[in-house]
Structure 1
């Protein structure tokens, strides 16, 4: 398996049940492509990036692929797998 040039970030919040589910869905997908998942808590990040919480805070979890919004609330597994394969 080659090393992926993609990055996957999961925007979360402490105590977010949907965020926990999304992380569990992302783990096997990203493992298949050799991608590490970066976790960003939008509340903790607000001190240095208040725009992050302002933009995404009301629709977490959000999956970012290569820094761009890919999906929110639910992980779009077929689409994410197709995009990671590129």
Structure 2
């Protein structure tokens, strides 16, 4: 599911989580806020829908990727995310 992708390109942030995950809800709020502030697109993927993601990340969700590389897991620090995005 994509969120507010800019016309200039694909999402730079990916949130990997699952339904009913309270840490995922917290991460989503931070990501949405930082992405809106910086004008960066983001997407969300669920381990419930993708067996490969489930195998790789099930113990770490929520997992945040920036430009396709793992950035963080469990919690998202807004300042650290801004820095990873070059802000």
CA contact 1:22–1:74 (8 Å) conserved in 2: yes
Match of residue 56 from structure 2: 55
Ranges in structure 2 where 5+ consecutive residues have no aligned partner: 1-7
Bigger Rg over Cα: 1
Match of residue 12 from structure 2: 7
Ranges in structure 1 where 5+ consecutive residues have no aligned partner: none
Instruction: State the 1:4 CA deviation.
Output: 7.6
Where does structure 1 differ by over 2 angstroms across 4 or more consecutive aligned residues? 3-6
Q: What TM-score, normalized by structure 1, do the two folds share?
A: 0.82
Count the aligned residue pairs.
80
The structure richer in helix per residue is 1
Instruction: State the 1:6 CA deviation.
Output: 6.4
RMSD: 1.9
